[in-house]
Amino acid sequence: MEDRTVWQVDAFTTSPFSGNPAGVVYPCDSLTAEEMLKISRELNNSETAFIQRLDGCDVQHIRFFTVKQEVPLCTHATVASYHVLSTKLGLKSGEYRMQCKAGLLPVSMESMPAHPRIRVTQKEGHFGPLLTEEQIMKLIEALQLKPASFYKDLPVQIVSTGNAKVMVGLKNKHELDALSLRREVLIALGEELGVPGFYLYTFDQADEQITAHTRMFSPGSGVEEDPVTGNAAGALALYLSRYTNRMPEGRASFMQGEAMGRQGVVSVIVNQLYATVLGQACTVFETHLLL
């Protein structure tokens, strides 16, 4: 039986029990994909990261699982992983590369005593199709809203920076906070689109520090609601950069998790079609896996 450590890490926050929790497992080298999935289910976070044993080079190999499936990239679990690599496994500040299912991605880390600053550059952004009128009607049914609830001048569109999401703008923060989903309708729409994740945003109650308030739903991938979502934040930043003037100097910050009582903030810098997500994290507990 190999000694493996499991950390529970809250990402996009420096305060425990806020932000987005992720499991981090090290090392994972002899674990099968089925075992990783079972561990993810046991931890029951939106995602769990599995780090291969460090080999002294500047590339870290990491896999990400929801409770239902492996996913190509999870940015909050990346932030959690590099927090553990820095504070627990001796990785020094500097420039690194992360090998994951989404490819080889740049990661930089500025070491600090408790909360290293971590930057993750996501894959080149891709703008997918706009939802059709029929698909938008299904979305309205799934969210139990009215057509007037949506921004008319901003398209409902699929955008990806490594893990595609549907960008959905709502005019009113109260409606965003009070959403009551018809989850089976949302799951069916996600299956039709080939994209299970829906990232909702509003400019209502935003200010100079917060570009938009957001929520993220992906019940089709086993994540009923994700507290604070780095992948989607990168995609939204690219989307806003294309369609709005709300990103001075190519920077944005998104507040998420308020409706879940797990508030966190994701900051993003956009350079053409690349989004770099900035975040910190904190360790909540450490234990050992008997497997």
For the annotated catalytic residues, the residue numbers are 47
Look up residue 228 and give its amino acid. Answer: V
Q: Give CB contacts under 8 A, 24+ apart, made by 174-181.
A: 175/145, 175/149, 176/200, 176/201, 176/202, 176/204, 176/213, 176/215, 176/259, 177/258, 177/259, 179/143, 179/144, 179/145, 179/215, 179/259, 180/144, 181/142, 181/143, 181/144, 181/217, 181/219
User: Which residue's structure tokens are 């299904």?
Assistant: 138
N- to C-terminal Cα separation, the chain: 6
- Distances in Å between the Cα of 98 and the Cα atoms of 63, 93, 95, 101, 102 are 10, 14, 10, 10, 10
Integer Cα distance of 218 and 199 in angstroms: 9
Contacts of 177 (CB under 8 A, 6+ apart): 258, 259
Integer Cα distance of 251 and 266 in angstroms: 11
